[in-house]
Amino acid sequence: MSKSLKRVEQALRDAGIATQVQEVGEARTAQQAADAAGCALDQIAKSILFAGTASGRLFLFLTAGGNQVDGARASALAGEELGRADAARVREVTGFAIGGVSPVGHLTPLPVWIDPRLRDFDVIWGAVGTPRHIFPVAPGDLIRATGAVTADFTG
């Protein structure tokens, strides 16, 4: 079992979330994850990271699978201009590689916002630190576990 997977499972337990991690084969895209889970594309909680251009700090946006983060809206929430986070910085701060970033279990706490669309479902799915594993969770439980603030940042 990978260190990332173990860390996410522990973070879920620590948050009081009883869930069953599922191995799904290769699921590097939201559509692949949705197909594997047998759910709607928007039930996939994508973990999208941006870096502050002034501070270098990372900011996490949990976005419904079919939505895209609007850079201007995300920057307004973060309080600084945001750019793409590079893969090495993502791994350093979160402990995860791009394509399998979990919404929980990061090495460093991050500011987190969640797409209101994810609250439309009883169950959503997140990555578990690998591109081969996902977990189901109630949106409210994920919000509580991540400290996410609901905000409109898609476009």
Percent of the chain past pLDDT 70, that is, above it, reads 99
pLDDT at residue 1 is higher than 70: no
Domains of the chain: 3-150 (3.90.960.10)
Structure tokens at 97: 């590689």
pLDDT 10s digits, 124-138: 999 998 888 999 999
| Cα–Cα dist 92/101, whole Å | 12
Percent of the chain past pLDDT 90, that is, above it, reads 88
| Cα–Cα dist 1/66, whole Å | 30
The helix (H) or strand (E) run that includes residue 11 is helix 3-14
Other beta carbons less than 10 A from residue 138's beta carbon: 15
